[in-house]
């Protein structure tokens, strides 16, 4: 990205880094609050759990279980609100924002984007919303497992739909960069289609592998080593969070599941008839090689708000472009 244009009012530059109000202090939201504060941002958070809010305060962060007060402060200070709750809780969170912080810009870190946009639109908030999705995490959950470095060099998708507000887009992108991530611009539906393949389907495959291995009994689990451990790592994630993620992206995940099932069915037929799994193994090896060899380049020279800026950023993101500075 090119440097911000010169302006006569210095507050217009400062407004790209407003205070941050994080709603939900689990692994992602908690790590975001930590990273934003370390970067020099003013930030505070909300969590409905007394224990979580207390743990955050014990670690030196401003956290509360009083959603009304947290959002009232966000409204008063024109904070960027970050929705960091599971998809089933998004509607109730938007209800609260509409009541107590109606003028604030909004982003989120939910793993699906079209469903969140639909909910935001139903509340009449889409002009103030720019979605986000940091592609980072672990199989653990909760404030205590958060890390200030969770997003370092991670990809952070920023919603770049055609009618997005360029000023709010810049705020959200700057937050991602301040947290140590690199920004990939993408349109919500295309984002959901892609993450169904590289994030949500792997969760279901990991669950399948874990169940299949467990069915072998203690001997199977006693012999399990690296391939089983690595392949089932995300099966250790919270079932509630995995369900929210996968079920929230139902349509795109069904497409990816059908493709995976077709590959496995064809491989089973080949193994049965020809004692061969060569087609799948060779294709998988080649696909992994393309992943390992992929290259990325820095997107520069596309200014938010310029002609066709969102479309141009989307195209750059599809071709491997990443934003490292504004």
**For the segment 256-300, what is each residue's pLDDT rounded down to a tens digit?**
999 999 999 999 999 999 999 999 999 999 999 999 999 999 999
pLDDT of res. 15 = 53
Q: For residues 161 and 109, give the distance between their C-alpha atoms in angstroms, rounded to a whole number.
A: 16
3-class SS of residue 309: helix
- pTM of the entire structure? 0.89
Contact (Cβ atoms closer than 8 angstroms) between residue 23 and residue 70 = yes
Instruction: Give the pLDDT mean for 64-77.
Output: 98
Q: pLDDT-derived band of residue 16, with 50, 70 and 90 as boundaries?
A: low
Give per-residue burial for 47-58: e unless 16+ CB within 10 Å, then b: beeeebbebbee
Pairing of strands 106-108, 80-83: parallel
d(CA 113, CA 252): 12
CB–CB of 112/248 below 8 Å? yes
pLDDT score, position 314? 97
Q: What is the pLDDT of residues 152-203, one digit of tens each?
A: 999 999 999 999 999 999 999 999 999 999 999 999 999 999 999 999 999 9
pLDDT at 11: 32
- Beta strands 321-322 and 297-298, pairing class: parallel
Q: For residue 99, what pLDDT is reported?
A: 98
Mean pLDDT to the nearest integer, 51-61: 97
Cβ pair 104, 128 in contact under 8 A:
yes
**59-65: average pLDDT:** 98
**What's the pLDDT at 248?**
92
CA 143 – CA 56 distance, rounded (Å): 7
Mean model confidence pLDDT for the chain = 93
Segment 96-155, tens digit of pLDDT: 999 999 999 999 999 999 999 999 999 999 999 999 999 998 778 899 999 999 999 999
Alpha-carbon Rg for the chain in angstroms: 21
Q: Quick check: 60 pLDDT over 90? A: yes
For the cut 80, the answer to whether the pLDDT of residue 4 exceeds it is no
- CB environment 183-219: b (16+ within 10 A), e (fewer): bbbbbbebbbbebbbebbbbbbbbbeebeebeeeeee
* Percent above pLDDT 70 for the chain: 95
| Under 8 Å between Cβ of 310 and 160 | yes
SS3 assignment, position 81: strand
Residue with tokens 């993450």: 195
Q: Which of 12-21, 90-99, 227-236 has the lowest mean pLDDT?
A: 12-21
User: What count of Cα atoms within 13 Å lies in the side-chain half-sphere of residue 321?
Assistant: 19
């Amino acid at each position: 990205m090119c440097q911000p244009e010169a302006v006569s009012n210095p507050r217009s530059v400062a407004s790209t880094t407003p205070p941050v109000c994080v709603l939900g202090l689990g692994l992602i939201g908690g790590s975001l609050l930590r990273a934003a504060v370390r970067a020099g941002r003013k930030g505070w958070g909300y969590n409905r759990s007394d224990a979580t809010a207390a743990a955050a305060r014990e670690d030196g962060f401003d956290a509360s279980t009083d959603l009304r007060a947290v959002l009232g402060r966000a409204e008063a200070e024109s904070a960027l609100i970050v929705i960091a709750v599971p998809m089933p809780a998004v509607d109730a969170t938007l209800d609260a924002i509409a009541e107590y912080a109606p003028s604030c810009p909004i982003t989120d870190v939910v793993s699906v984007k079209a469903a969140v946009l639909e909910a935001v639109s139903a509340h009449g908030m889409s002009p103030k919303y720019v979605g986000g999705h940091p592609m980072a995490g672990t199989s653990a959950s909760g404030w205590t497992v958060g890390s200030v470095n969770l997003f370092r060099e991670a990809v952070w998708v920023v919603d770049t739909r055609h009618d997005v507000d360029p000023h709010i887009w810049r705020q959200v992108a700057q937050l991602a960069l301040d947290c140590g991530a690199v920004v990939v611009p993408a349109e919500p539906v295309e984002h959901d289609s892609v993450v169904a393949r590289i994030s949500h389907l792997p969760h279901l495959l990991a669950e399948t592998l874990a169940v299949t291995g467990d069915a072998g009994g203690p001997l199977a689990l006693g012999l399990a080593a690296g391939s089983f451990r690595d392949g089932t790592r995300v099966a250790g994630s919270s079932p509630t969070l995995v369900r929210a993620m996968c079920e929230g992206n139902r349509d795109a995940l069904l497409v990816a599941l059908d493709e995976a099932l077709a590959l496995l069915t064809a491989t089973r037929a080949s193994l049965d008839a020809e004692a061969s799994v060569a087609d799948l193994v060779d294709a998988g090896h080649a696909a992994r090689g393309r992943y390992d060899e992929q290259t990325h380049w820095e997107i520069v020279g596309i200014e938010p708000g310029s002609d066709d800026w969102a479309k141009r950023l989307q195209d750059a993101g599809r071709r491997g472009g990443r934003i490292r500075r504004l």
